[in-house]
A = this chain, B = another copy of it.
Amino acid sequence: MSGTSGARDLRAEVLEQARRARVAARELARTLPVAKAAALEAMAAALDANADAIEAANGVDLRRAQEQGLGAAMVDRLRLDRQRIAGLASAVREVAAQPDPVGETAESWTRPNGLHVARVRIPLGVVAVIYESRPNVTSDAAALCLKAGNAVILRGGKEAFHSNTAIAGVLRAALAGAGVTPDAIQLVGTTDRAAIRELVQLEDLIDLVIPRGGEALIRAVCEASRVPVLKHAKGVCHVYVDEDADPDMAASIVYNAKMQRPGVCNALETLLVHARAARLLPAIAAPLRTAGVELRGCERTRAILGDDVAPATLEDWHAEYLDLILAVRVVDSLEEAVEHIAHYGSNHTEAIVTRDEAHAREFVSAVQSSTVLVNASTRFADGGELGLGAEIGISTSKLHAYGPMGARELTTTKFVVLGDGQVRE
């Protein structure tokens, strides 16, 4: 087959999937909450019932990964054992149990002319999710999109192709069994990267693209897309220890934010400490050092903590380490901390530790990141922890949704206007 006819086939295939998704979306928009919940329960049960087949398909991906010499961390992210497959199923059950956002009246009012106006929540339509190696995204994203009444087109990484194909097949069969069109969940059936480009050009058929993965993937999707994109980019998260911080609370929050799970986007990357709280640095640093955290500091930090703290460079202030490394800077004021965050941060998550309510208010008002915390760990910037239910990711762009996104953030509202013959003068 020539390259040209291959490209034509690919385009036709992706277009056909998107068309079927559009039809499925219209059906889903009118599917009752109980029917969606039943379909989600059936999906969860099918994941449990087909764990052997999923594990076998994952075995094919794991063998290829090892043959190709992928790193241990990558292979671990790819792995689906029985416990993890049970985890996929229980995540889907959690989504089934959440309140259904569709049909909810977000607000309503009556106009002087008697028109009753309501904003009623409806699905977005068709969502494309483009992701990298972790196969759990396949069932997580499918479940959240279905809950919100959206059809989903999934495009996973090539490393997880067999795992994703098995999971999507199980979910589609479960939908059919539950009386919901299987076209509501579709996986792009090729690992050809050109398929992504074809997909994100279909502005008339797809309502939203969510890229989940590294910076290169996100940039490539944003540049190619004519469909709106919600970026889930990196988290350069800060804790600011104010002059008036409780010493024990400061040490506890910093340790938790850095250590509770260092490899995720809401983990602490840069610690800012007010000069009048710099005396707390040794007590904050000690448990981190014991836990094996490498510290990189400004000159004033090094003067307090010693020369074994490496000098922090410009790269350190910009860094999302996702690792046992912490940048530390002493600042002269809350304003300087806010300025640092605005300049080097990534609009993800920042926390202040303080006993001064005016300072807390000032920090909350000045910092424009998607989650701003007072006296709590950055690790709470998470859909489940904040009470949204399962999350499809954390948006770092301001449009539509900013911060953790649950099922409700996968919907929009339409205006419903009830009259009794009103016309405009």
Residues in chain A within 8 A of chain B (CB atoms)? 26, 29-30, 109, 111, 115, 117, 120, 122, 124-125, 203, 207-208, 222-223, 226, 228-230, 246, 249, 252-253, 255-257, 260, 342, 360, 364-366, 368-377, 379-381, 385-387, 397-400, 402-404, 412-424
Contacts and interface: CB of A to CB of B under 8 A. Distances in A.
Given A111-B386, A398-B124, A421-B376, A228 B229 contact: yes
Contacts of A342: 26
Contact of A377 (B228, B260, B381, B424): B424
A423 B252 CA distance: 7
Given A117-B386, A399-B228, A415-B386, A246 B421 contact: yes
Contacts of A387: 109, 111, 117
A129 to B, nearest CB: 15
A217 B87 CA distance: 48
A397 to B, nearest CB: 7
B207 A421 contact: no
Question: Is the contact region of chain A dominated by helix, strand, or loop, or is it mixed?
Answer: mixed
B30 A366 contact: yes
Contacts of A416: 364, 372-374
Contacts of A374: 416-419
A124 B415 contact: no
Contacts of A419: 373-376, 380
Contact of A30 (B365, B381, B418): B365
B115 A380 contact: yes
Given A376-B422, A399-B412, 5 more contacts: A122-B368, A364-B416, A368-B414, A380-B419, A400-B412
A252 B414 contact: no
A398 B125 contact: yes
A337 B156 CA distance: 39
Contacts of A398: 124-125, 207-208, 412
Contact of A415 (B109, B381, B422): B381
B414 A369 contact: yes
Given A222-B226, A399-B228, A253 B368 contact: no
B404 A415 contact: yes
A375 B111 contact: no
Contacts of A207: 397-399
Nearest to A118: B364
Contacts of A370: 414-415
Contact of A423 (B30, B256, B421): B256
Contact of A29 (B223, B368, B371, B372): B368
A253 B417 CA distance: 14
Contacts of A417: 371-374, 376, 380-381, 386
B228 A414 contact: no
A107 to B, nearest CB: 10
A423 B379 contact: yes
23 contacts: A30-B366, A111-B387, A115-B376, A115-B386, A122-B368, A252-B423, A253-B421, A368-B414, A369-B414, A371-B414, A372-B415, A372-B417, A373-B418, A373-B419, A374-B417, A375-B418, A375-B419, A376-B421, A377-B423, A377-B424, A379-B424, A398-B412, A400-B400
